[in-house]
Amino acid sequence: MSDIAPQSHVLSASLRREFVLAFRNRGEVANPLIFFFCIIIFVPLGISPEGKVLAPLAPGMIWIVALLATLLSLDRLFRSDWEDGSLEQMLLSGQSLYLIVINKVFVHWLTTGLPLTALSPFLGVMMSLPAEGYLPLVSSLFLGTCCLSLIGAIGAALTVALRRGGLLLSLIIMPLYVPVLIFGTAAVRSAIDGYSVSGQFAVLGAMLTAALVLAPLAVSGALRISVDS
């Protein structure tokens, strides 16, 4: 019990710190949301404003833009900690790096994935998404953006020591994002076509569970490699 209390205190302090950093960097937090919103606005202008043209594109387009917006925000996940030296102190502190990583990814999802999920119904209206697709869209993005943040943290940890690691980060992470994209869009399309979506959501839930267990371990190892190199 004596070991649990200091550990919980450190973790709560770490969580507060992440929220403070996110609040101080409001511009960086807003960039993915602005990108998400602008692309969806431009799609009807560039393709066609007619609903019958936009409706078939809506599930895939919203999911692709959400994926790219998440990818846009990943570089900042560990960058400030690396630049000010606090990342090395985290590794040397003796505290559970697994739980610290969970904290950082959780705050990243709260400031990126959750707002993207909340915006998706409004963007669905702009893309003429059929009514049957709204609930599956929000639900699939809720699960999917959690997966995207956890998986993306692996690439962010591997490239944190590189000055311009954005391109390499994209190359590492994009193939791992493909299954999430496929099953996320398939869930929305199946609901629109009147089919059951339980299979797609079961796969998304399984991917989220696996990412929640394995991704922090991979991130912890990647951070140690980055700091030692």
Average pLDDT over residues 6-34: 67
Q: Is 10 left (phi over 0), alpha (psi -120 to 50) or beta?
A: alpha
pLDDT digits (tens, 9 = 90+) for 137-166: 999 999 999 999 999 999 888 888 777 666
What pLDDT does residue 226 have?
A: 75
Question: What's phi and psi for 163, nearest 5 deg?
Answer: -65, -45
pLDDT digits (tens, 9 = 90+) for 158-189: 888 777 666 778 888 899 999 999 999 999 99
Average pLDDT over residues 208-226: 89
Average pLDDT over residues 5-18: 63
Question: In the structure, what pLDDT confidence band is assigned to residue 34 with cuts at 50, 70 and 90?
Answer: confident
pLDDT of residue 112 exceeding 80, the answer is yes
Coil, strand or helix at 164: coil
pLDDT of residue 5 exceeding 60, the answer is no
Top mean pLDDT of 18-32, 44-58, 94-108, 185-199 is at 185-199
Give CA–CA dist 74/52, Å, rounded: 35
Helices and strands of the chain, counted as H and E runs: 11, 0
Return the higher-pLDDT residue of 210 and 23. Answer: 210
Handedness of CA 193, 195, 198, 204 (dihedral sign): negative
Closest CA to 142 of 192, 100, 201: 201
The mean pLDDT value of the chain amounts to 83
What pLDDT does residue 186 have?
A: 95
Question: In the structure, what pLDDT confidence band is assigned to residue 6 with cuts at 50, 70 and 90?
Answer: low
CA-angle at 18, arms to 224 and 64, nearest 5° = 85
200, exposed or middle or buried, with CB in 10 Å at 0-12, 13-18, 19+? buried
Question: In the structure, what pLDDT confidence band is assigned to residue 46 with cuts at 50, 70 and 90?
Answer: confident
Look-up: residue for tokens 């929305």?
Answer: 188
